[in-house]
Amino acid sequence: MSRAASTGERRRLAEAMPLAPALILLLLVYVGPVLWFLASSFVGNDGSIGLHNYVRLFGSATYVTTIGTTLKLAGATTLLCVLAGYPVAYLMATTRAGSSLILLVVLPFWTSYLVRTFAWIILLGRNGTINSTLISLGLIERPLELSYNFFAVVTAMTHAMLPLAILTMLSTMQNIGAHYGRAASTLGARGAQSFLRVYLPLSMPGVAAAALMVFIICLGFFVNPALLGSRRETVITQIMIDQLSTSLDWGFAGAACVLMLAVSLAIVALYQSLFGMTAVTGMETGRSQSSLRKSISRGALRLAGGLGQGLSGTGRRIEAAMGAIGLRPRSGGLRGPLALLVGLIVAFLLVPVLFLIPVSFTTSSFMRWPPEFFTLRWYQTYLLHPIWVSAILRSLLVGLGAAIIATTVGTPAAFALVRRRVPGKPALMSFIIVPMILPHMVLAIALFSLYAQIGLVGSAFGLVIAHAVLAIPLVVITVSSVLRNYDQRLDQAASVMGARPPRVFRTVTLPLIGTGMISAFIFSFISSFDELTVSLFVTGGLTATLPKQMWEDAINQVSPGLAAVSTAILVGLTVILLAVALYQRRAGSTAIELRG
């Protein structure tokens, strides 16, 4: 090798250096443990190597049914999220009034999954809001069986995942300029036709990205099935938790994890070959379209075009019919019904959570409706109880620690990915966001197995590191989206005027990307504060974070005390998010909208 080439390589390595901490952390705390743990799935109970665990997994009818249930729940939720989310995202992307909805979608997005599940328990329970309201109105005599079935689980899961679906689709739709629609109409396309031929195909990558994220995250869900489902809605993660807590059967849990990972990776691979990862990572890969993608998108275009033809034919007929009876079609007449639909969907997102608030002040000792007012008993017995206080403090500390680590490690990585000439950027970006895309359960069990061997179970440090790894993708995505909009000529201008690099960073770059970094920090903190799966395993049986304490309480019985805790969390998060939103509005940035 010539000397020039080796110095060239050394320079490229130096360029990539800021990525090193993030990559090392990911390798040590994510990739390594997960691979090691997955390998254990090929070791049987008796220590022999083989496929015993897989034979057991697929050999038992119960397990196969469970796998089927998991896929069915994830599939139904994904479909509902995309269908309900599309009109909301569309309205938000295309109208000024719609864009003001963003905070209403972002708020539930950051509200704890657990809190939102409790809301559904109150609404759908035997003595829940819906049943008692219907009974008191005299419409029914006996309570309907609204919870503990497929419907309840899918409703709550859809409620949980809808904001993510909307925000993912929105980020694609915001890049579809209005001029395409105008161009289409000058070329003679009517409303429906222009939508189906132009807008829909252009928004497809966003729809697919939303479906991808929702489906994969749903594969790892266990909170909703456990609290709102019956035996028939048992999902694979519940089996894994059972197997581990009763028999420490690592091999079997590993086999289930491999299965979950295989399904996830297959979907990610399919998506990547169709659309590339741009819509997920927000990073332009500059890769040309694959032939598969081309043929599929051409097919989709033809299909959409045909639909447009058909619909516009119908439209013309309706217009003619209306003209015949003296009615003139108003332009944009679809806006009204669309706005109504979107209003209903947003209400579905926001309203259920509000029912927690009155219940938290109820004087009865179980959750009932209508609540009998008024007491602060639940706030006193829960929020002031030493167990809860220590759980809250631990969650705050872990969240802060995780956010500090993720921000310090993720920010330089984002800089390298956006600014430097690093080879294999798209692959690196995909690698860094892996913890965000794959189910948390995989990391939870893998780390549990690792920590058990090195004595980190139950330590705050182990949990902080785990949460930091989960938050790094958030930081990288948030900070790099800010950096990509950053005009590097500002830095050049500063250095031309005589400022040395540290001073350029301190006086120009940092103040301008500060908003992005603060947002990234807060997102990391909230994601850790809300994290249940990993905490459930890694903390062991002894110490609890707030979500874990809530979960364990909820398995026994959902009481008004949980509503009180939920209300407190709700108020706290809302204050934080509104403060961030205000701060960002003042700073003229919109990073709060950019997660995932």
**Binding positions for another protein, rule: CB under 8 A:** 487, 489-490, 492-500, 503, 507-508, 511-512, 588
* Smaller CB separation from another protein, 136 or 492: 492
Neighbouring residues of 180: CB distance < 8 A, sequence distance ≥ 6: 198, 199, 202
Q: Which is nearer to another protein, 365 or 507 (CB)?
A: 507
Min dist CB 495 to another protein, Å, is 4
Q: Which is nearer to another protein, 151 or 505 (CB)?
A: 505
Cβ distance to another protein smaller for residue 396 or 508: 508
Q: How far apart are CA 305 and CA 288, in angstroms?
A: 24
- Nearer to another protein by Cβ, of 28 and 510: the residue is 510
Question: Residues near 290 by Cβ (< 8 Å), separated by ≥ 6?
Answer: 273, 274
Closest approach of another protein to the CB of residue 577, in Å: 24
Let me know if 187 is exposed, middle or buried by CB neighbors in 10 A (0-12, 13-18, 19+).
exposed
Closest CA to 190 of 336, 320, 72, 361: 320
Question: Closest separation between CB of residue 512 and another protein, Å?
Answer: 6
Nearer to another protein, 14 or 387 (CB): 14
Structure token digits, residue 505: 């960073």
The least CB distance from residue 388 to another protein, in Å, is 42
- Number of Cβ within 10 Å of residue 501's Cβ equals 11
Contact 406, 12 (CB under 8 A): no
CB of 587 to another protein, least distance (A): 9
Nearer to another protein by Cβ, of 351 and 490: the residue is 490
* Smallest distance, another protein to C-beta of residue 314, A: 47
CB of 502 to another protein, least distance (A): 11
Counting Cα atoms < 13 Å in the Cβ hemisphere of 432 gives 36
| Cβ closest to another protein, residue 302 vs residue 500 | 500
Report the C-alpha gap between 261 and 139 in whole angstroms. Answer: 47
In this structure, the number of other CB atoms found within 10 A of the CB of residue 351 comes to 11
Question: Secondary structure of the chain: what % helix, strand, coil (to 5)?
Answer: 80, 0, 20
CB atoms within 10 A of CB 31: 16
Write down the least CB distance from residue 476 to another protein, Å: 24
> For the chain, give me the number of helices (H) and strands (E)?
32, 0
